[in-house]
């Protein structure tokens, strides 16, 4: 077998076919590599591989057409039939030789992510999954080509039939979609020969064990059928030929049935184990918070997907599979709007997008429009909407909490003193947490409502009346939760406002903080990037920055018998509080200023009988809760806000989970125009031309002998 493998492999490089296969693969890949990765700066090579899936329809027939058809035509197949080596080993040797040629081409492709690392961050795990998926997809295509080559003695017919076989597999999902968008027995049978759909998971950032099983079993099946095709010619006596033919057909049927069974079994296994999420943002994986929620879920919930099964976004589909696998109480049903166009009108009278979700638990339901599952922004280079984040888990977990919880919390935001309204991403945090955000003017009520889970006082500009301050303090004394932000533009005398802070022995530090450490601010010393301490108030932040412009410091005692203080945002020792920032001549310390370090975010908890009996969380600026600041750090500020709200709301009888948006794209690569053109021309022209030239030279020399 080794001798046959060696001879076959050498033959591909002693003529032009092997060189042509590698050169053509690299040239077309190089074209899209230049367009997507080098020119547009995409870090994922899966875009380029996805664009060339049709390439194997052309190159594989050229590679495989002579493998067995030529043996038939030249009558050397008689040597195979009479060789002391088994037919299986001969077929395997020929297959491995072609697989080695394909592997060499893929090694060139596999090197490109490492090349891109010179220009920025590259998701190597996703790249490896994409290359592996494309590699085994190519191995299956080669096995199909080898089988077709065993059926004829004409290389041309072999190439044409191989293209036809591969084209049918390439288009199968579209063909079955025309038969039935919702799926039936016929489409399920035909989709067994859908060659491309299993590749999608690899290209989307999943290492798919289901796809791997499919490609390996179907490859093995076609190699077995190739062996059976050759075996039938070993017998010249008609009786024996008939006997073996029946036996061969029976074996083939058993092999096909076995392959179908293995793949059906693999498809029924939980996606959590069969689809390994290797994306950098863990797009498909469920967070521990969601897993814990699903573990404790006791009510039955049906998630209706307004689309035909298989016609939804692959990211959303993978996410839904994980929800279904994680809880027996969750059922996923697809509702094809072409079959039942009015189904969604049972739950909403508004028009919704294809792919939207409707979660139903008893009489309670919630609609998630497809567009809410993704975060987008305008790309001003193309003036088009670009997807920047995936919020599937956040929206679905939020909706599950909504339909299964009997009581929803209420948070009030104070008004009447020039407070800044909670809006944008921060309002979305409350919405995702199924928290009702209501405005409260203390002039219109005798006390803070009893259903208040928390009270937000965001950047008051004018002082409270004594009566307003007393109402807030009464709420705090009863164990209420307050989130308060300081405002450096507030009136100088804020005695009643400060009396609210004094309930927890805290007070604002006079002056606007200027950071003296250049590593701890962005562009301007007043634009702080504070040190973030690990706590339950910053668990979503991780190693990311918090952006805190125009902040004041917060003073509090080092220790207290009744109150526990948790500072979670602090400045460096080089920071100073500029008492007259408007007239300051330098960012450094001047007479009248206060030296740092400063705490600019702190949580204070009063405890009674070992349990928390009210919290006051103070932030040094309302700008921390502004969308403009949040966008500077890709949502870290709103993530911290979600953590704060979770501490307020989560109790023994009420739990709120807020899952932040997951970044959909990695950061763009920065490739200069000269380097991009140089590398692009090398990959798509120079190297393929050199490979092709080498093949032509070797082929020409052999012809002269």
Same domain flag for 269 and 297: no
Q: What share of the chain is helix, strand, coil (3-state, %, to 5)?
A: 50, 15, 30
Would you say residue 399 lies in a domain?
A: no
Average pLDDT over residues 491-511: 92
Q: How far apart are CA 363 and CA 359, in angstroms?
A: 11
Please name which of 436, 61, 75, 130 lies closest in space to residue 278, comparing C-alpha atoms: 130
> How do residues 319-332 score in pLDDT, each as one tens digit?
999 999 999 999 99
Q: Are residues 412 and 537 in the same domain?
A: yes
d(CA 598, CA 595): 8
Domain count, the chain: 3
Q: For residue 367, what is the enclosing H or E element? A: strand 364-368
Co-location of 250 and 299 in the same domain: no
- Cis (ω within 30 of 0) for the bond into 597? yes
Q: Are residues 637 and 673 in the same domain?
A: no
The whole-number average pLDDT for the span 507-515 is: 93
27: DSSP letter:
H
**Looking at residue 322, which CATH number applies to its domain?**
3.40.30.10
Picking from 362, 389, 416, the residue at the C-terminal end of a domain is 389
**Which pLDDT band, with edges at 50, 70 and 90, does 475 fall under?**
very high
Tokens of 392: 């599937």
Q: What is the pLDDT of residue 106?
A: 95
Q: Is it the case that residue 6 has pLDDT exceeding 80?
A: yes
- For residue 402, being part of any structural domain is answered with no
Sign of CA dihedral 637, 642, 648, 651: negative
The answer as to whether 396 is a domain residue is no
Predicted local confidence at residue 236, as pLDDT: 41
pLDDT band at 263 (very low <50, low <70, confident <90, very high): confident
Q: What is the pLDDT of residue 237?
A: 35
Confidence band for 217, pLDDT divided at 50, 70 and 90:
very high
Tens of pLDDT, residues 287-320: 888 998 999 898 999 999 999 887 788 889 889 9
What average pLDDT does the chain have? 87
- From first CA to last CA, the distance across the chain in angstroms is 28
Q: Percent of the chain having pLDDT more than 70?
A: 92
- Same domain? 246 vs 355: no
Average pLDDT over residues 199-212: 91
202 and 320: one domain?
A: no
Q: How confident is the model over 11-32, as a mean pLDDT? A: 91
Residues 510 and 624 in one domain: yes
Q: Output the pTM of the full model.
A: 0.73
Shared domain check, 483 and 441: yes
168-193: per-residue pLDDT in tens?
Answer: 999 988 888 776 655 667 777 888 88
pLDDT band at 280 (very low <50, low <70, confident <90, very high): confident
Annotate 410-448 with DSSP letters as a single string.
EEEEEESSSPPPP-HHHHHHHHHTTPEEEEEEGGG-SS-
Q: Are residues 569 and 631 in the same domain?
A: yes
**pLDDT category of residue 434 using cuts at 50, 70 and 90:** confident
pLDDT at 381: 60
Eight-class DSSP state of 551: -
Using DSSP, how many helices (H) and how many strands (E) does the chain show?
Answer: 24, 25
Please check whether residue 662 lies inside any domain of the structure.
Answer: no
Q: Are 463 and 583 contained in the same domain?
A: yes
How many other β-carbons are positioned within 10 Å of the β-carbon of residue 597? 17
- For residue 567, give its domain range: 408-653
pLDDT exceeds 60 at position 245 = no
Strand 563-570 with 531-532, pairing: antiparallel
pLDDT reported for residue 702 = 76
Please report which confidence band the pLDDT of residue 487 belongs to, taking 50, 70 and 90 as the band edges. Answer: very high
Higher-scoring residue by pLDDT: 699, 566: 566
Residue 401 inside a domain? The answer is no
- Residue 553's pLDDT is 94
Q: Cβ(278)–Cβ(129) under 8 Å?
A: yes
Report if residue 694 sits inside a domain.
yes
Residues 6+ apart with CB under 8 A from 555: 506, 507, 508, 509, 599
Q: Is residue 462 part of a domain?
A: yes
Pairing of strands 452-458, 481-485: parallel
Please report the pLDDT score of residue 572 as a whole number: 94
Separation between Cα atoms, residue 540 and residue 556, nearest integer Å: 26
Q: How far is CA 535 from the centre of its chain?
A: 26
- The pLDDT tens digits for 661-673 are 887 766 778 888 8
Domain contains 642: yes
564 and 450 share one domain: yes
pLDDT of residue 282: 86
- Note whether 52 and 189 are same-domain residues: yes
pLDDT tens by residue, 362-395 = 989 999 999 989 887 766 566 667 778 888 998 9
């Amino acid at each position: 077998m080794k001798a046959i493998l060696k001879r076959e492999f050498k033959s591909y490089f002693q003529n032009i076919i092997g060189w042509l296969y590698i050169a053509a693969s690299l040239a077309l890949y190089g074209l899209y590599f230049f367009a997507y990765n080098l020119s547009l700066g995409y870090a994922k090579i899966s875009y380029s591989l996805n664009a060339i899936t049709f390439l194997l329809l052309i190159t594989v027939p050229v590679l495989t057409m002579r493998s067995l058809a030529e043996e038939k035509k030249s009558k050397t197949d008689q040597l195979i039939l009479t060789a002391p080596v088994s037919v299986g080993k001969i077929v395997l040797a020929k297959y491995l030789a072609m697989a080695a040629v394909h592997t060499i081409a893929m090694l060139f492709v596999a090197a490109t992510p490492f090349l891109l690392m010179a220009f920025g961050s590259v998701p190597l795990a996703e790249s490896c999954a994409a290359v592996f998926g494309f590699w085994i997809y190519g191995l299956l295509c080669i096995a199909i080509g080898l089988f077709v080559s065993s059926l004829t003695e004409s290389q041309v017919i072999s190439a044409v039939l191989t293209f036809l076989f591969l084209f049918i597999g390439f288009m199968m999902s579209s063909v079955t979609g025309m038969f039935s968008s919702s799926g039936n027995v016929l489409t399920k049978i035909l989709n067994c020969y859908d060659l491309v759909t299993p590749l999608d998971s690899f290209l989307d950032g999943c290492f798919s064990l289901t796809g791997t099983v499919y490609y390996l079993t179907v490859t093995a099946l076609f190699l077995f059928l190739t062996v059976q095709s050759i075996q039938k010619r070993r017998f010249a006596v008609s009786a024996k030929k008939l006997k073996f033919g029946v036996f061969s057909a029976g074996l083939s049927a058993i092999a096909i049935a076995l392959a179908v069974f293995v793949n059906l079994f693999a498809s029924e296994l939980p996606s959590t184990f069969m689809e390994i999420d290797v994306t950098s943002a863990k797009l498909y994986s469920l967070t521990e918070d969601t897993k814990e929620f699903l573990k404790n879920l006791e009510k039955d919930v049906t998630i209706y997907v307004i689309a035909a099964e298989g016609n939804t976004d692959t990211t959303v589909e993978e996410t839904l599979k994980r929800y279904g696998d994680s809880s027996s109480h969750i059922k996923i049903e697809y509702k094809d709007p072409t079959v039942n166009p009015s189904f969604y009108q049972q739950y909403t009278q508004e028009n919704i997008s294809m792919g939207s979700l409707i979660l139903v638990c008893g009489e309670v339901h919630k609609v998630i429009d497809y567009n809410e599952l993704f975060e987008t922004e305008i790309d001003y280079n193309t003036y088009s909407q670009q997807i920047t984040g995936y919020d599937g888990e956040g929206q679905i977990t939020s909706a599950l909490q909504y339909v299964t919880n009997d009581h929803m919390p209420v948070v009030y935001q104070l008004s009447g003193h020039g407070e800044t309204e909670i809006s944008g991403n921060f309002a979305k945090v409350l919405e995702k947490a199924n928290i009702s955000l209501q405005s409260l003017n203390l002039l219109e009520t005798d006390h803070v409502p009893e259903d208040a889970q928390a009270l937000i006082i965001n950047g008051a500009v004018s002082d409270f009346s004594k009566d307003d301050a007393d109402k807030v303090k009464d709420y705090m004394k009863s164990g209420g939760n307050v989130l308060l932000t300081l405002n450096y533009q507030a009136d100088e005398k804020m005695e009643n406002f400060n009396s609210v802070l004094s309930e927890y022995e805290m007070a604002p530090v006079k002056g606007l903080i200027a950071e003296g450490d250049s590593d701890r601010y962005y562009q301007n010393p007043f634009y702080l990037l504070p040190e973030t301490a690990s706590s339950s108030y910053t668990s979503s932040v991780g190693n990311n920055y918090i952006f805190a412009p125009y902040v004041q410091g917060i003073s509090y005692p080092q220790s207290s018998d009744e109150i526990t203080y948790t500072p979670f945002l602090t400045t460096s020792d080089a920071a100073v509080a500029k008492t007259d920032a408007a007239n300051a001549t330098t960012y450094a310390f001047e007479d009248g200023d206060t030296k740092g370090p400063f705490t600019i975010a702190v949580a204070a908890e009063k405890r009674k009988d070992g349990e928390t009996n009210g919290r006051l969380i103070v932030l040094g600026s309302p700008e921390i809760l502004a969308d403009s600041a949040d966008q500077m750090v890709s949502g870290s500020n709103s993530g911290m806000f979600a953590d704060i709200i979770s501490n307020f709301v989560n109790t023994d009888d009420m739990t709120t989970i807020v899952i932040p948006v997951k970044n959909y794209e990695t950061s763009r690569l920065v490739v200069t125009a000269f380097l991009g053109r140089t590398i692009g021309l090398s990959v798509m022209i120079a190297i393929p031309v050199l490979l092709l030239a080498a093949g032509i030279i070797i082929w020409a020399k052999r012809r002269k002998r």
